[in-house]
Amino acid sequence: CFFIHSPKGFPKLKNDTFLRAARGEETEHTPVWCMRQAGRYLPEFRETRAAQDFFATCRSPKLCCELTLQPLRRFPLDAAIIFSDILVVPQALGMEVVMVPGKGPTFTEPLKEVEDLLKLRQKVDVTAELGYVFQAITLTRHSLEGRVPLIGFSGAPWTLMSYMIEGGGSNTMAKAKSWLYCHPEASHRLLRLLTDVITDYLVGQVAAGAQALQLFESHAGHLGPEQFQEFALPYIRDIAQAVKSKLKEEALPLVPMIIFAKDAHYALRDLAHAGYEVVGLDWTIRPQEARAQTGKDVTLQGNLDPCALYAPKEKIGELVKKMLEGFGTQRYIANLGHGLYPDMNPEHVGSFVEAVHAHSRHINKH
């Protein structure tokens, strides 16, 4: 039921290795991309972003396109991921988020009381509120000229909820988690609202030209198995199901979907059956163990420790080889276990990408 579909006269795709791996088809080499591949580790990224406010950059389709393409000019990556941020969804709900230097994203008025939910937009017109992301996707899809597929993404409901209540990053997520214990009904109301917006947002990204979608449950590790079962997993499942049925209804391509729930190994079995073609992994699980838990019907993505890229280049090659031997070269997409850090050497990123291609080709031949 997957097909390569070119609405809006998009250029023909030349390298579909990433999409084939995502769908479980055979590939000549293991595809590779990096979370946060468009980022501050690139001098050209820092130059482009220098004069601009972070969220103003997110709202400029032209700048998002440029930042998305930068890593592809340097490295033979097998996919591009649109430059944006997961916090554009809370913004679409009417919350104000600013990027504070040295502190990161900060909500001027986080949710404190259950009554604060009434301040949120209960019905969101995603085209009106997030149309700038759709424009960035369409522009980038054209500008890629079919070189590689373009991935769209969103934060998952629990992760977004935790930001909206904490008002920014947090080591404990104590405020957000206290809602789960003290206000379970209100928590479910908020998670449902987020689920509906995220669903429309992801469908809109496909309509705009995204060829795969990734859902980031970045804060999964703050939940235990019971809370994950109650407050994260049902919404992760609903999103996969709702996105797929809406794509069918709107005669849009059924694109592969990736779920990345950081630090949620306790839930890998459930995530493998949550309706996603690909399960992303952080670096804290052994490849063989992840395969055993997820079975044969999903593709795995990950999971080199990002800090491995600080190692000398030869060492990076050895670590990649070991990773490929652990996962196998098929039904597998190479990536890091989390995003690239700002102080990483771009040359080491290049070594990582090249090592994946070289070693996987070698393994496939022999």
Of 49, 59, 141, 147, the catalytic one is 49
In sequence order, the β-bridge partners of residue 257 are 213
Is-catalytic flag, 49?
A: yes
Is-catalytic flag, 163?
A: yes
Q: How many CA atoms lie within 13 A of 98 on its CB side?
A: 5
Of 74, 85, 192, 341, the catalytic one is 85
**Under 8 Å between Cβ of 176 and 165:** yes
Q: Is 171 left (phi over 0), alpha (psi -120 to 50) or beta?
A: alpha
Q: How many CA atoms lie within 13 A of 277 on its CB side?
A: 21
**Under 8 Å between Cβ of 106 and 100:** yes
Residue closest to 232 by CA, chosen among 203, 190, 200? 190
Three-state SS at 248: helix
How many residues would you count in the chain?
A: 366
Of 36, 141, 237, 331, the catalytic one is 36
User: Nearest 5 degrees, angle CA 187-CA 226-CA 182?
Assistant: 35
Residue with tokens 């009106």: 128
**What torsion do the CA atoms of 355, 357, 361, 363 make, to the nearest 10 degrees?**
40
Of 16, 141, 163, 282, the catalytic one is 163
**Under 8 Å between Cβ of 283 and 31:** no
- Helices 233-249, 157-166: axis angle to 10 degrees equals 120
Residue closest to 278 by CA, chosen among 77, 24, 37, 28? 24
Is-catalytic flag, 282?
A: no
**What is the torsional sign of CA 65, 252, 235, 258?**
negative
Q: Which residues are catalytic?
A: 36, 40, 49, 85, 163
